[in-house]
Structure 1
Amino acid sequence: MTDLFSASGLSEGAPQPLADRLRPKSLSEVVGQDHLLGADGPLRRMLDAGRLSSIVFWGPPGVGKTTIARLLASETDLEFEAISAIFSGVKDLRAAFERAEARRSTGKGTLLFVDEIHRFNKAQQDGFLPFVEGGTVTLVGATTENPSFEINGALLSRCQVMVLKRLDETGLGQLIQRAETLEGRALPVAPAARAVLMEMADGDGRYLLNLVEQVYTFAGKGDVLSVEAMSTALQKRAPAYDKSGDGHYNLISALHKSVRGSDPDAAMYWFARMLEGGEDPRFIARRLVVMASEDIGLADPTAMMVAGEAARAFERLGDPEGLIPLAHCVVHLATAPKSNAAYMSLHKARAAARETGSLMPPKTILNAPTSMMKDQGYGDGYIYDHDTEEGVSGQNYFPKEMGRPVFYEPTGRGRERAVLERMNYVAEIRKRYRGDS
């Protein structure tokens, strides 16, 4: 096999990045993933039982997916073979499987680590099935995308999905301490700058260690960097956000639920997060219109108007001025009274429409533009509502075969309180004039 250092033009004595020098040598050294590797974690139970099944690791970058896979191979005496779905194709997969089959014939198993496994297409993912089922390889895939959407159901059913968490302040702090031990001196930053450094890493341990390495490089002997000096020297990481992937759907879900939960501060935060991540404001505007109708409805009829006008204002003004009316809309929707009654009535009515098929309206409410239709009873007995004392006739508008279902049930919140009173009033008129049948 070609020596990796030679192939890259480096010698084995070439300097290694701090993140590589601090790579855990055992699973006990992995930080931030105790829910998987602790005494009661699923990975620890697998290892204690001596049976490692195929796995898909799902989590953000820099939290240890590759490292854990490599250590699992070491602890189970499997040959570690790694490929990346970004750089590999069918030929590479075939070669990896052939090597695994050759090892198996000599009694040696293979842990095949596939980075960014979601990048393989359906046919390529299907190619894994016989080798996973037959035990030729123990597959460990890594993905930053939701496996439910990005990995074939057949392959996913043969793997256990394990979610890796972004590193919290404790885990990031442990990495800094290990770097200080390795370097033999404290990180040369002020206490406040240390906290800012962890914020800049945004839960990515590998990125944090890269920042730490830069701090050691920039700070001279005896220097202690302030927050300002450190921020000037380092580049803050862009927020993890994929406009076509999980980040896109997770953050719009967070915005929608914050609006529904009447929390304007949280709603504004997620709105800002999407903007900072590069989301198209027009997408957010469209979703705000949906929220206005789905979650507010007639509890505040002005919400729909505000959302529609905010979307139009952005189209006229563009970025950045057009973001102001969108922010106005976010606050309005979050603080408005909530009702999903109109939204739910649509689902109920469509279900009834599917069930009842082609039932005709009552002839009473059908127009009779011809004498033949009049003879057939079209329009016979129709009461013009405006001619009644209350302005409501109370007559039946449903097919006679249906009875009288209820689809719209106003909540009594916000403006819908008046709607509820009005509906109760009409219901009494309906009983008094003609009944419900």
Structure 2
Amino acid sequence: ILKRAINDERGYRNLNLKIDENVLKSIADSSEGDARRALNMLELLVETSESKEINLESLKKLPLYYRYDRKGDEHYDTISAFIKSLRGSDPDAALYWLFKMIESGEDPRFIFRRMLIFACEDIGLAEPEAIKIATNCAYAFEMVGMPEGEFLLAFLTIFLSLCPKSNSVLRSIVKAKRVLEEKKFAVPMHLRDSHYESAKKIGRGVGYKYPHTDPEAIYQKYLPEFIEIAEILGKGKEKILKQKLEEIRKIRWGKEV
């Protein structure tokens, strides 16, 4: 389509333009299959160019919306800068990268998805409300859309930036997968399913202590040996959870902890 527009007499053939192939490729990538957007971009490029030779430098002079390739490096680099700014507790930088994405036509739902992941991965238990607030903002966006949705994106960006940070959940996931490769435990008999009538006759579920009614259940073991998988760093609101975990482990495993 682009080459036809350049070579057709009804297009730009009479202008004798020399357009770099890389420019055409960049326009095609940025338009994401939208022919109208691609042609509009080409038209703007031709009209604003001061030379008949159009190269990548000419492309850089276009408005940001036209230069942003949502499938290329700019897309991944900008979201990377955004997430790293959130992680670094810098709302100023995070807002800058956020609005670069918005003004470039980035899908707001993509940004919300990344912030939902961030709320669990980089904030997690240090502020458990983060995932709830992120979910509510993403849901509210579906009700209001754009441009009012900018308020929700900016609100969540500032909030997540200033939350305490912890990667306890990520570290625990990594440990769980590593232990799973190293240890191959069978399910202990007292933890096995025993809902059917003959289960207890073969030892399934025998000895299981129900935590809601049996005070001795705190001593019950759920793995054959002590393995520290859940790693709570004690940041933000994790301090209470870390203390609780240490108490439970000490009661359950005693000197082994």
Tell me the TM-score normalized by structure 2: 0.73
Picking from 221, 238, 254, the partner of 1:396 is 221
What does residue 201 of structure 2 align with? 375
What stretches of structure 1 of length at least 5 have no aligned partner?
Answer: 1-7, 21-65, 67-82, 88-115, 120-143, 145-203, 212-235
How many angstroms does 1:347 deviate by?
Answer: 2.6
For structure 2, the 5+ residue unaligned runs are: 1-12, 31-55
Kindly indicate which of the two structures has a greater share of residues assigned to helix: 2
Determine what percentage of the aligned residue pairs are the same residue.
36
Q: Is 1:242 aligned to 2:179, yes or no?
A: no
Rounded Cα–Cα distance in structure 1 between residues aligned with 2:241 and 2:59: 56
Judged with a 3 Å threshold, the aligned counterparts in structure 2 of structure 1 residues 253 and 392 are, in CA distance, closer, same or farther, namely farther
Larger radius of gyration: 1
Is the contact made by 2:125 and 2:237 (CA closer than 8 Å) also made in structure 1?
A: yes
Given that 1:430 and 1:436 are in contact with CA atoms closer than 8 Å, whether structure 2 keeps it comes out as: no
Residue 154 of structure 2 aligns to which amino acid in structure 1?
A: A
* Shift in Å, 1:378: 1.7
Are residue 385 (structure 1) and residue 207 (structure 2) matched?
no
Show CA shifts across 1:11-51 (max 9, x none): 9xxxx9xxx9xxxxxxxxxxxxxxxxxxxxxxxxxxxxxxx
- Structure 1 residues 392 and 380, CA gap change in structure 2 (3 angstroms): closer
TM-superposed CA distance for 1:364, in Å, is 1.4
CA distance in 1, matches of 2:14, 2:114: 51
Pairwise mapping of residues 88-237 of structure 1 onto structure 2 (< 5 A)? 206=58, 237=63
**Displacement, 1:384?**
2.3
- Give the superposition deviation at 1:84: 3.4
Letter in 2 for 1:394: Y
Give yes or no for contact 1:384–1:393 (8 Å, CA) kept in 2: no
1:366 aligns with 2:192: yes
Q: Please tell me whether the aligned partners of residues 392 and 429 of structure 1 are also in contact (alpha carbons under 8 angstroms).
A: no
Partner Cα separation in structure 2 for residue 360 and residue 395 of structure 1? 17
Aligned equivalent of 1:336:
163
Q: Note the C-alpha offset of 1:355.
A: 4.6
How many residues in Structure 1 have an aligned counterpart in Structure 2?
217
Partner of 1:58: none
**Distance in 1 separating the partners of 2:57 and 2:200:** 80
**Do 1:296 and 1:303's aligned partners in 2 also have CA atoms closer than 8 Å?**
yes
Question: CA contact under 8 A between 2:226 and 2:253: conserved in structure 1?
Answer: no
Distance in structure 2 (CA, Å) of the matches to 1:333 and 1:10: 52
Say what the alpha-carbon RMSD is for the aligned residues. Answer: 3.3
Q: Residues 26-105 of structure 1 correspond to what in structure 2 (within 5 A)? A: 84=21
Following the alignment from structure 2 to structure 1, what is the Cα–Cα distance between the partners of residues 15 and 194? 91
Letter in 1 for 2:145: G
Aligned to 1:296: 123
What is the identity, as a one-letter code, of the residue corresponding to 1:408? A
Tell me which residue corresponds to 2:250. Answer: 428
1:411 partnered with 2:238 = no
For residue 298 of structure 1, report the CA deviation from its aligned partner: 0.7
1:296–1:337 contact (8 Å) kept in structure 2: yes
* CA distance in 1 between partners of 2:252 and 2:192 (Å): 19
Partner of residue 262, structure 1: 89
Q: Distance in 1 between matches of 2:159 and 2:76?
A: 22
Structure 1 distance, partners of 2:214, 2:237, is 26
In 2, the alpha carbon distance for the partners of 1:316 and 1:249 equals 27
Q: Looking at secondary structure, tell me which structure has more strand per residue.
A: 1
Q: Could you list the per-position Cα deviations for residues 119-143 of structure 1 after superposition, in whole angstroms to 9, with x for gaps in the alignment? A: 9xxxxxxxxxxxxxxxxxxxxxxxx
Gap change, CA 1:368 and 1:266, over 3 Å in 2:
same
3-state secondary structure, aligned to 2:96? helix
Distance 1:370 1:277, change over 3 A: closer
TM-score, normalised with respect to structure 1: 0.44
Deviation at 1:322, TM superposition (A): 1.7
1:373 shift after superposition = 2.3
Question: Using the alignment, how far apart are the partners of 1:392 and 1:265 within structure 2?
Answer: 50
